[in-house]
Structure 1
Amino acid sequence: MLLHIPNVLDAATLAHCTALLKQADWTDGRVTAGTQAATVKNNRQLPETSPVAQQLRAIVLEALSKNPTFFSAALPKRIYPPLFNRYGDEANAFGNHVDNAIRTHPATAQHVRTDMSFTLFLNNPTDYDGGELIIEDGLGGRAVKLPAGHLILYASYSVHRVEPVTHGVRLACFTWLESMVREPQRRELLHEMDLSIAALRGEHGETDTAVRLTSCYHNLMRMWATV
């Protein structure tokens, strides 16, 4: 799955995030990289314990909790506390890598199996040159560069990279999540069913067919989900 979710953050929230980011003290991004990723990672990150990161994290998690598209597609069981990165100047790229299968939070020791990853863009594409997120899909890779407040959700097992930022600064939030439904094909099927049920209700109201399909959806969830 490669899903673009628009307007996760509205204009007012983005303005608040921008003000917070102006106060940020950045550190070497390799602090959260795995062994392979650390060899190709060259960016800056907010320390996980910094007050600015904590405030931004709360904003992002609240926005995600209110976004029905995100929930439908990801069916999140656990979300690793979101992180924040900066690409620009000399620290401006992240080469091809695959996310670690398990992330362990240093403060809580809680394990998160990385089924899906996301990048939430915090400034606009006109603010920088380059910086595309390239997600390999077997067809040469898809380039993603979204407006501020928009999110891309994708499989954590995908090989991906961030192209060099040649002018300006790219700011983003990123993290990984463990889904209640582990198998990607089952997750995608449930998401398509959810979208179809919503469309059916929008066109015809609460019909017997919509009720039966909703029953099928939730029975599949009972079969496949772990909570």
Structure 2
Amino acid sequence: MLIEIPALFSPEETAGIRARLESAVWRDGAGTAGHVAARAKTNLQLADDDPLGAEIGAAIVERLAATPRFIAAALPLRILPPRFNCYAGGGAYGRHIDSAIFSAPGTRERVRSDLSATLFLSDPASYEGGELVAEFGAVRQPVKLGAGSLLLYPANSLHQVTPVTRGTRLAAFFWVQSLVRDQAQRSMLLDLDDSIQALAARDAADPEIVRLTGLYHNLLREWSET
């Protein structure tokens, strides 16, 4: 299941982030991949401890915390600090599945990757290629969002970034450990939440809203892990 969160950052805010990243010190991204995935990865990344990346990443996490759609879709328990990559000159990341467990920087904490997230930072008209392609069985879903928009997708899905043959593709990416590990359960909770919000928009006094809200929280109580 792919979930788009449009305009997490405005065009002006996103342009400011891009301008700051132009002066960043980029490194070979293959060094951050596992030994199998590294062979398929040809891009650049900021170091995990890069001060600029840490500052922009903190702003992204702060914005996520104030974005109801993200909270409803991800039900986040832990968010790994965002990282940043750059694709150009044919750079790509072949078919792979993200690591299951990550170490939280500066701590002994381990974070399970239930959801992967990509925040597109470049205007899609400014580069060719660079689609994020997620595979679900025989179905391949290519995605190329507008600058400032976020894509959430299951971390256990096979996916890739196609070669960037013109221009530059900048993005932030990170992983989320959800309160609800199971993807199907998260999807049902999101559908239920969407229905509650739609009913409330039509008639906030509808008594069914109370019943459905109670059902939502009881399911979340049953399925959540803390």
TM class by shorter chain equals: over 0.9
Deviation at 1:51, TM superposition (A): 1.6
Residues 106-152 of structure 1: CA deviation (Å, up to 9, x unaligned): 42232111111011100111111111111111234111111001111
TM-score, structure 2 normalization: 0.96
CA distance in 1 between partners of 2:9 and 2:129 (Å):
23
CA distance in 2 between partners of 1:54 and 1:9 (Å):
17
Say if 1:116 and 1:155, in contact at 8 Å, map to a contact too: yes
CA distance in 1 between partners of 2:35 and 2:22 (Å):
31
Q: Considering only aligned residues, what root-mean-square deviation do their CA atoms show, in Å? A: 1.2
Say if 2:58 and 2:81, in contact at 8 Å, map to a contact too: no
AA in 2 matched with 1:162: V
Say if 1:23 and 1:52, in contact at 8 Å, map to a contact too: no
List runs of 5+ in structure 2 lacking aligned partners: none
TM-score, structure 1 normalization: 0.96
AA in 1 matched with 2:110: H
Q: Which position in structure 2 is the counterpart of 1:85? A: 85
Give the secondary-structure state (helix, strand or coil) at the position aligned to 1:99.
coil
1:133 corresponds to 2:129: no
Q: Which position in structure 1 is the counterpart of 2:163? A: 164
User: Aligned pair count?
Assistant: 226
Residues 63-99 of structure 1: CA deviation (Å, up to 9, x unaligned): 1111111110110101111100000026x10001000
Give the secondary-structure state (helix, strand or coil) at the position aligned to 1:136.
strand
Give the secondary-structure state (helix, strand or coil) at the position aligned to 1:147.
coil
Superposition misfits of 4+ residues, deviation over 6 angstroms? none
Q: Which position in structure 1 is the counterpart of 2:67? A: 67
CA distance in 1 between partners of 2:41 and 2:108 (Å):
24
CA distance in 1 between partners of 2:205 and 2:31 (Å):
51
Q: Which position in structure 2 is the counterpart of 1:11? A: 11
Q: How does 1:106-185 map to 2 (within 5 A)?
A: 106-185=105-184
Q: Which moved more, 1:124-133 or 1:23-32?
A: 23-32
Give the secondary-structure state (helix, strand or coil) at the position aligned to 2:136.
coil
CA distance in 2 between partners of 1:164 and 1:188 (Å):
31
List runs of 5+ in structure 1 lacking aligned partners: none
AA in 2 matched with 1:34: G
1:57 corresponds to 2:81: no
AA in 2 matched with 1:33: A
Give the secondary-structure state (helix, strand or coil) at the position aligned to 2:167.
strand
Q: Give the share of equivalent positions with the same residue, in percent.
A: 45
Say if 1:20 and 1:56, in contact at 8 Å, map to a contact too: no
Q: Which position in structure 1 is the counterpart of 2:35? A: 35
Give the secondary-structure state (helix, strand or coil) at the position aligned to 1:56.
helix
